[in-house]
Structures are given as C-alpha cells and as structure tokens.
C-alpha cells in the first residue's frame, strides 16, 4: 500500500494574528519560530511538520504577515485590466513574475507563492481586530489563489473579541466553516474540530485526515496514561522512604530537626523531578518558558507539603473523604508537621501509625522500638497532597497551548470531587511502607524490577488515571 504524501497546509493571515502561535500549539513545539508582540516577526516562509506514528502527516508552512493588501489589490486590478491572465490564479502568477513581487510587495508575494503550491490554507484572524477594509482585500487576494481556505478565529476568549462581526464578514465570502481556536489556551476539542472541518474542504483526503484525528486522540490518551504512571511511581517512591533515628537523637529536638528537614527536602526533590518529567511528557520546557514560568510551579513549587495549613487546604478543596486514614494516631503521624515519627516513646503511637499507614509495618516498628530506634517516614496526608498537586499540574498542561507566554491560572476550588480516587491511589501504596528498598535513590535507576513493587505502582496508577478521567477530556 502506497504511503500518502503529507498534507500541505499554508498558515496565512495579517501580521501578528497568531500564525506561529497556532503552529507551536498544533505541533507541540515550544521552540518553533518566534512569538512576539512586535509586528512582522515572521519574515520568511518556515516549514514545520506534524509527525504521526513516526512520519510526517501534515506539512505546515508558516508565512509572513500580509502587510499592504490594499495597495496590492490596486496593483492586481491593473493586471486584470490588461486582460492577458484570464483567471484569478493566472493573474497571481503573472504578478509573481513581475518586479513588484521582489520589491514593494515582497512579503505578500511570499504568501501567495506558497498558497499556490499547497493543498489548503488556515487563515488565522485576530478576532479582537476591527473588521477593516484591508481585511476584505486580504481575503480576496487569498481566494484568488483558488485553494481551500479555512478561517481560524484566534483570541476569541478576549473581552475585546469581535467574533460575530468576523463571522458575518467571512460568511459574505462564502466561508461558513470557521474554527474557534485559542493558541495560548486551546478549547477542548478545538484541535479535532480544526481537522474535521478541513475534511469538508478536502474530501478526497478524508481518510488521511481522519487518520490524523484518530492518532492525535490516541496520543492524548497515551500521555494521560503515562502521566498517571509517573505520579504513581512518585507516590510509591515517597511512601517507601524512611530514616532510622536513634532514640537519643529522636528525643532531642535540635538533633531531630535536621533529619526531618533532610527527609522533607528529599520529598521536594522527588516532586520536582516528577513535575519536570510531566513537563517533558507534554513537550514543554522545564520552566515552560523562561519568560513565563507556570504559576503552578512558580507559586506552589515551594509549597510546604508538610504544613498543617496545606493539609487543611487540601481537605477543603478535595471535600469530604479527603482524609486517607489516620483518625487514630494523628498526633504521632503529624507530630513533625506531616512526618510520621514511627513508634515514638509509647506503644500507642506505634499502633496509631500502623493503623493510619497500613498494618504491614507494625512488626518492624515494634522491633525498632525494642532496639531503641525510631523511624521517620512520610504521612499519607502528604502523599495525598503530592498526588493532588501533580494532577493539577497535568490539568494545567492539558489546557495550555505551546505558544503561551502569559501566566496561567489554575482553579483553586474545583467542583469535581476527586478524593475517592486520590484516596484509593494513596491507599494502594500501603505495601511500600514495608519495603524501604523500594525508594528511589537519586542518580540510580528506579528499582522497578520487583514484581510486587510494579503491581503496587500499577494499582496506584489506576486510581490516579480515574482521577484524571474525572477532570474531563484532554484537548
């Protein structure tokens, strides 16, 4: 079976309408081109490919902005009066052969030359702009190339959007299929709508376009699965962490404090590595963009997962059922601000910790008590906060376009009740409490060879995947 040629799509429009931004988001390439508020940033035609199943499915051409369509239309009218070019595409070709195409109208010529050699075009429109006569001239020039054109309205979420006016203008030129797309924060399903509407313009490429749509949906599902698995790995890794502390050091607050701080830093480091992996999975840079770090990372990155305030906040946001356990033993488990101090000085503390974290570690805790050793480990409430934070990051990444330069906001009071799934994911990490060797040491390969550890990660992942599903579909 012959491999179909990649679809060729020109991305055209007025200067600063968001053409490069659209392509960054569609191809998930944060490093493509230059996104700037300065007019005329793109000066040459640049090519970028959408890879599907290892091959180029769509070949996009990012074109310079149309700068002087009004004067060019007047020039084209003179060519039309000469009468040597009977059709609009013929007149465009005649113009491209003239000196003006390499002089005063050089930028427009690059656009029109590209448009004559593609299957279709996306006309990107800044919906905030007033509908001026120059835009009518631009539309007529583009239509003269006799290629299917699909309008893409950008910035429609902005309060200054003139969406209705633009749709009326486009309808006057027979363009009734219009896609609403925000390159910085795409609508759910907007990417799918873009290709589905393209099917109506390129019916002979229906099968190819539907293949692209299906592949993108599959990739989105695979990203979510991989994200849940990475967070599940984090939870098991942290649940297995523990530090043995001699009774004399444990009872001396000055000597105990640095040990507690060391364990807390280790948890922060693991959370940061997980977040970096999620950024890479969704094809963002580690800081998203140097000029615009994600507020979720900027503001909550240093969040104290071990503070009572953080736990209270999680309880308020996640609702009833957020507490994973620990009604018994809460004093022992939270005595160091979210760190379990194990058996403590009394057997009651050991029983409390065992009930809240699973009965498995009880024997080891009692053994440590008899040999005058105490354990520092991470409380289930902290695991809950870690899971909630990482899931919030995933959701933020799913709603963020790869062209975004402004800071985004995440909802602090989500309506979706996620606590049962999060609680299930945290409870699934119980076996790790009895396997400190499951913790991942920095610089070493993750200890995923043990069948029981893999099973524990998989069970935690299932709960996290369910929580992600309740957040709604990927874009």
User: Within this chain, do residues 344 and 247 fall inside the same structural domain, yes or no?
Assistant: yes
> Among 51-60, 195-204, 332-341, which stretch is predicted with the lowest mean pLDDT?
332-341
Q: pLDDT band for position 303 (50/70/90)?
A: low
Output the pLDDT for position 284: 80
Output the pLDDT for position 350: 33
Using the predicted structure, report yes or no on whether residue 445 has a pLDDT greater than 70. Answer: no
Classify residue 441: in a domain, yes or no. yes
Classify residue 214: in a domain, yes or no. no
Of 295, 289, 237, 274, the closest CA to residue 456 belongs to 237
Output the pLDDT for position 287: 60
> Among 110-119, 177-186, 235-244, 294-303, which stretch is predicted with the lowest mean pLDDT?
294-303
User: Within this chain, do residues 56 and 196 fall inside the same structural domain, yes or no?
Assistant: yes
What the block records as the tokens of 166 is 């633009």
User: Within this chain, do residues 305 and 393 fall inside the same structural domain, yes or no?
Assistant: yes
Q: What percent of the chain has pLDDT over 90?
A: 33
User: Within this chain, do residues 17 and 141 fall inside the same structural domain, yes or no?
Assistant: yes
Note down the domain range covering 188: 7-201
Domain C-terminal end among 201, 236, 255: 201
Arithmetic mean of pLDDT, 435-458: 78
User: Within this chain, do residues 171 and 320 fall inside the same structural domain, yes or no?
Assistant: no
Edge-first strand order for the sheet with 179-180 is 46-52, 55-62, 7-13, 120-126, 149-154, 179-180
> Among 52-66, 309-323, 374-388, which stretch is predicted with the lowest mean pLDDT?
309-323
Output the pLDDT for position 443: 55
d(CA 245, CA 240): 16
Using the predicted structure, report yes or no on whether residue 328 has a pLDDT greater than 70. Answer: no
Q: pLDDT band for position 184 (50/70/90)?
A: low
Output the pLDDT for position 309: 66
Domain C-terminal end among 161, 184, 201: 201
User: Within this chain, do residues 347 and 465 fall inside the same structural domain, yes or no?
Assistant: yes
User: Within this chain, do residues 118 and 242 fall inside the same structural domain, yes or no?
Assistant: no
Of 325, 323, 306, 324, the closest CA to residue 315 belongs to 323
Domain C-terminal end among 201, 216, 245: 201
User: Within this chain, do residues 138 and 179 fall inside the same structural domain, yes or no?
Assistant: yes
Q: pLDDT band for position 169 (50/70/90)?
A: very high
Output the pLDDT for position 319: 59
Output the pLDDT for position 18: 85
> Among 205-209, 275-279, 369-373, which stretch is predicted with the lowest mean pLDDT?
369-373
User: Within this chain, do residues 309 and 183 fall inside the same structural domain, yes or no?
Assistant: no
Classify residue 196: in a domain, yes or no. yes
Classify residue 164: in a domain, yes or no. yes
* Gap between the terminal Cα atoms of the chain: 32
Output the pLDDT for position 344: 33
Output the pLDDT for position 327: 31
Output the pLDDT for position 418: 55
Output the pLDDT for position 444: 58
Classify residue 475: in a domain, yes or no. no
User: Within this chain, do residues 84 and 137 fall inside the same structural domain, yes or no?
Assistant: yes
Output the pLDDT for position 300: 45
Domain count, the chain: 2
Classify residue 219: in a domain, yes or no. no
What the block records as the tokens of 297 is 């990372």
Classify residue 16: in a domain, yes or no. yes
Name which residue leads in pLDDT, 445 or 97. 97
Of 351, 372, 346, the closest CA to residue 361 belongs to 351
Classify residue 409: in a domain, yes or no. yes
User: Within this chain, do residues 275 and 196 fall inside the same structural domain, yes or no?
Assistant: no
User: Within this chain, do residues 231 and 145 fall inside the same structural domain, yes or no?
Assistant: no
Q: pLDDT band for position 205 (50/70/90)?
A: very high
CATH code, 121? 3.40.50.300
- The neighbouring-strand residues paired with 12 are 123
């Amino acid at each position: 079976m012959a491999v179909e040629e990649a679809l060729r799509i020109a991305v055209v429009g007025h200067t600063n309408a968001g053409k490069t931004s659209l392509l960054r988001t569609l191809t998930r390439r944060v490093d493509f081109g230059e996104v700037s508020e300065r007019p005329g940033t793109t000066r040459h035609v640049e090519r970028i490919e959408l890879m599907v199943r290892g091959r180029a499915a769509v070949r996009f051409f990012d074109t310079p902005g149309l700068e002087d369509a009004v004067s060019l239309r007047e020039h084209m009218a003179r060519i039309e009066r000469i009468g040597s070019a009977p059709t609009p595409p013929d007149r465009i070709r005649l113009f491209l052969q003239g000196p003006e195409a390499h002089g005063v109208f050089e930028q427009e010529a690059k656009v029109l030359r590209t448009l004559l050699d593609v299957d279709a075009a996306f006309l990107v429109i800044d919906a905030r702009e007033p509908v001026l006569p120059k835009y009518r001239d631009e539309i007529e020039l583009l239509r003269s190339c006799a290629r299917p054109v699909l309008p893409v309205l950008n910035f429609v979420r902005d309060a200054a959007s003139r969406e209705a006016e633009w749709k009326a203008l486009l309808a006057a030129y027979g363009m009734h299929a219009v896609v609403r797309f925000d390159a910085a924060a795409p609508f759910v399903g907007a990417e799918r709508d873009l290709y589905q509407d393209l099917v109506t313009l390129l019916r002979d490429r229906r099968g190819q376009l539907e293949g692209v749509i299906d592949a993108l949906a599959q990739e989105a599902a695979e990203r979510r699965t991989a994200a849940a698995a990475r967070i599940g790995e984090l939870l098991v890794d942290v649940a297995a962490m523990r530090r043995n502390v001699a009774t004399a050091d444990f009872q001396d607050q000055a000597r105990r404090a640095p040990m507690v701080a060391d364990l807390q830093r280790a948890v922060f480091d693991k959370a940061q590595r997980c977040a970096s992996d999620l950024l890479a999975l969704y094809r963002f840079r580690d800081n998203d963009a140097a000029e615009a770090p994600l507020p979720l990372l900027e503001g909550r990155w240093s969040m104290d997962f071990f503070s009572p305030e953080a736990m209270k906040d999680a309880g308020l946001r996640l609702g009833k059922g957020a507490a994973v356990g620990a009604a018994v033993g809460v004093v022992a488990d939270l005595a160091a601000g979210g760190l379990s101090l194990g058996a403590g000085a009394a057997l009651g503390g050991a029983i409390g910790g065992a009930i809240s974290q699973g009965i498995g570690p009880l024997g080891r805790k009692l053994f440590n008590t008899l040999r005058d050793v105490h354990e520092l480990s991470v409380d289930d409430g902290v695991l809950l906060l870690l899971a909630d934070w990482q899931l919030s990051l995933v959701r933020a990444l799913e709603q963020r376009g790869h062209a975004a330069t402004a800071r985004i906001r995440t909802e602090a009071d989500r309506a979706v009740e996620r606590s049962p799934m999060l609680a299930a994911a945290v409870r699934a990490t119980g076996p790790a409490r009895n396997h400190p060797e499951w913790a991942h040491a920095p610089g070493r390969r993750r200890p995923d060879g043990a069948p029981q550890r893999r099973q524990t990660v998989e069970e935690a992942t299932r709960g996290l995947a369910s929580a992600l599903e309740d957040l709604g579909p990927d874009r």
